[in-house]
Amino acid sequence: MNLDGSEGLTSPSGSASKSAEGGNLQRSQTIGQRIMDNLFLRNLSSKPKGSDASVPSSPVRVPDAVEPDNKDEEESSLLGTCRGKCITQLLLLGAIDSIQKKYWSKLKAPQKIAIMDILLSPLEFAASYNSYTNLRTRMHQISDERPPLNLLRQELTGTCIYLEILQKATSEFSADKEGLAETNDSSLIEHSKAEEKIEGLAEEKLVSFCEQVLREASDLQSSSGNVTNMDIHRVLELRSPIIVKVLKGMCFMNQQIFRRHLRDFYPLLTKLVCCDQMDVRGALGDLFRAQLKALLP
């Protein structure tokens, strides 16, 4: 029993040595904590030498989250501007059409020439925007079968008005030329000279415009026979109303003008005989009956 009790008791010298060791350990831990705290505070208060380039002084701006909204706003504003300009040009075409239908005979020669030039400007812009190359390019930018962006309505409206004005300028004066040649009135003679100038200018514009439309259509029709690309046929289908309108307008062309320029028209017309669009071939047949039949003996 005593042996067991003596083994469980500690001597005073042993407890004193253990308490001294514990005090030394606690003192060393306190000093170590102070050293680590000082190092930690020093690292927080000072900048590391190699981290200046990696740690920015100010927050990084992230414009990617804002760019899509700004881009959409710019595109929508651009489309709105283009739409507004197209509507303005359609209103301008309507105003010119109203003037030429009501007051064409009362207009003076400079006014008629000015109307021709003003009308030709939006018409050329629409025609260049609706060119075969541009339409084919826009077809590849859309994934479905929707028609590409175009100004075909504007071009068709301008073509109708332009042909009507040129037909008036080249037909009215020719009908009265014989009666004006017999008069001696100086005012009428000056008027006849001005009208003759307008007739020559209108003939030049009419022939040039018809040749341009027919040449573009015939060239594309010739290339469609060698290429199996459906884009060409779609472009011809989109532009067929313009071609039909020009062919029907040529049916009412002054026969003398048509005869003078038949050498230029005929090769372009023959290329459209094999056109896939039935409305184009129908208008071509009407033109042959109206103009070519009169030339046969």
Which structural domain, as residue segments, surrounds residue 217? 85-295
Average pLDDT rounded to a whole number, residues 164-170: 93
Q: 151 in a domain, yes or no?
A: yes
Q: 213 in a domain, yes or no?
A: yes
Q: 202 in a domain, yes or no?
A: yes
This prediction has a pTM of 0.69
Per-residue confidence (pLDDT) for residue 220, from 0 to 100: 81
- Tell me the three-class secondary structure of the chain, residue by residue: CHHHHHHHCCCHHHHHHHHHHHHHHHHHHHHHHHHHHHHHHHHHHCCCHHHCCCCCCCCCCCHHHCHHHHHHHHHHHHHHHHHHHHHHHHHHHHHHHHHHHHHHHHCCHHHHHHHHHHHHHHHHHHHHHCCHHHHHHHHCCCCCCCCCCCCHHHHHHHHHHHHHHHHHHHHHHHHHHHHHHCCCCHHHHHHHHHHHHHHHHHHHHHHHHHHHHHHHHHHHHHHHCCCCCHHHHHHHHHHHHHHHHHHHHHHCCCHHHHHHCHHHHHHHHHCCCCCCCHHHHHHHHHHHHHHHHHHCC
pLDDT greater than 80 at residue 159: yes
Mean pLDDT of all residues belonging to the chain: 76
Per-residue confidence (pLDDT) for residue 37, from 0 to 100: 55
Average pLDDT rounded to a whole number, residues 89-107: 92
Q: 156 in a domain, yes or no?
A: yes
Number of domains in the chain: 1
pLDDT band at residue 225 using 50, 70 and 90 as cut-offs: low
More confident residue, 40 or 122: 122
Per-residue confidence (pLDDT) for residue 174, from 0 to 100: 52
Q: 277 in a domain, yes or no?
A: yes
Q: 76 in a domain, yes or no?
A: no
Average pLDDT rounded to a whole number, residues 234-253: 92
Average pLDDT rounded to a whole number, residues 188-198: 76
Q: 45 in a domain, yes or no?
A: no
Per-residue confidence (pLDDT) for residue 70, from 0 to 100: 65
Q: 271 in a domain, yes or no?
A: yes
For 275-285, the pLDDT digits (tens) are 888 999 999 99
More confident residue, 57 or 292: 292
Average pLDDT rounded to a whole number, residues 118-126: 91
pLDDT greater than 70 at residue 229: no
